[in-house]
Homo-oligomer: A and B are copies of this chain.
C-alpha cells in the first residue's frame, strides 16, 4: 500500500536514532536537566533569534496544548480558537478537562481573522453582564492550520496587535511548523514568529521525531514553577534525554528545515500529479496537506491501493479526502501513485 494518510506514519529520522545509540550509556540527570536538553534549548533560541526565550520539551501535541493553555490562563478566562481548531475538535475535551472553556471564532479554511476577533471582544466587553461570562484570555491559532493553510506576516501582526491591545496571550500551535515555514508561499520565518506571539511550539512528532514538541515562551514569560505544572499534568518525562537528544539533532545543521523542505517538495510534486490528471481539489494548500474532491467510486477504488484519510461527505456522490506528505515521503511513492490515477483530462 502507498501511504499518504498522515505525517506520523514512520519512526524518526535516522540521525536521531544514530544519536540515541551514541549517547545511550552516558549517565544523565533526569527531568530535562541533562546536557542534550540544554544544548537543544540553546540551538532553538538561536534559531528563533530570541535570546530571552525559554524553551521546554513535552511529549505530544494535545499534552502541550493542555499544559500551556492551562498554565497561562487565569481561572476566569477561556481560550479563543477557530471553530475548526484542533483544541476545539480533536483533543477529546482536553482543554475543558483543565477547567477552561474554548470560545469559538469563525474560521476561514481553518484561519481566524483579526477583525472577527476584534468584533468578539467588542461584543463581550459591551455586554453588561460579561462578569457572568467566560473572559477571553488567550488566542489559539495553528500554523499551518488543520487545513494546511498559512497566515501571512500581515495577518499575524494584525491578530497580535488586537491581542496586545486587549491583554490577550497569543499562542501558536506549531504541530506542523516545519512544513509551514518551508512552504514556498510564506513570508513567515521562525524569528518573525517568535517576535509575533507570546508562546508557540515547534512540532517534532510530525516532523522527524519519534515524539516531542518544543514549547517556546518568547517574552521571558513562562509561568512560575512551570515544570511543576508539567509534572502535575503528567507530562514530565523522567528521561529528558528522550526529548533533548531528538531536538538537539533536529536543530543541528538545519535538519529540521531539511525535513520540512523535503515534505514540501513532495507536496508540490503531488499537487502537480493530481493537476496533470485533472483531479478536482477541494482545498489546495501551500503545505503538506492536500484535500481532493473525489467521486465516491474513485475514492473507493483508490483506497484499495493507497492509504489516505477520509475527510467529509460534501454531497451524496462525492467524498473529500486528504493526502499528506512528510519528511519520509519518497518521490518514488508519488510516481507509483501517478500510475494508479485515472485521467480526467
Within 8 A of B (CB), among A100-145: 100-102, 104, 128-129, 131-135
A329 smallest CB distance to B (angstroms): 10
Q: A342 an interface residue at 8 Å Cβ cutoff? A: no
Q: When the two chains form their complex, are residues B232 and A93 in contact, meaning their CB atoms are under 8 A apart?
A: yes
Q: A89 an interface residue at 8 Å Cβ cutoff? A: yes
Q: When the two chains form their complex, are residues A9 and B23 in contact, meaning their CB atoms are under 8 A apart?
A: no
A92 touching B228 in the complex, CB below 8 Å, given contacts A24-B12, A234-B234, A310-B128: yes
Q: When the two chains form their complex, are residues B228 and A210 in contact, meaning their CB atoms are under 8 A apart?
A: no
Within 8 A of B (CB), among A193-231: 205-206, 210-211, 224-225, 227-229, 231
Please classify the interface of chain A as helix (H, G, I), strand (E, B), loop, or mixed, using the class held by over half of its residues: loop
Q: A235 an interface residue at 8 Å Cβ cutoff? A: yes
| A131 contacts across to B, CB distance below 8 A | 92, 225, 227-228, 231
Count of chain A residues near B, Cβ 8 A: 81
| A228 contacts across to B, CB distance below 8 A | 76, 92, 131-132, 135
Number of copies: 4
A171 smallest CB distance to B (angstroms): 16
Q: A21 an interface residue at 8 Å Cβ cutoff? A: yes
Pick from B10, B17, B90: contact of A27, CB under 8 Å:
B10
Give Cα A31 to B25, complex, Å. Answer: 29
Q: A291 an interface residue at 8 Å Cβ cutoff? A: no
Flag the segment in A46-54, A155-163, A238-246 that touches B. A238-246
Specify the chain B residue showing the minimal Cβ separation from A235.
Answer: B234
What are 11 A-B interface contacts by the 8 Å CB criterion?
A3-B27, A10-B25, A11-B239, A14-B21, A67-B234, A96-B100, A131-B228, A135-B228, A206-B238, A210-B241, A211-B238
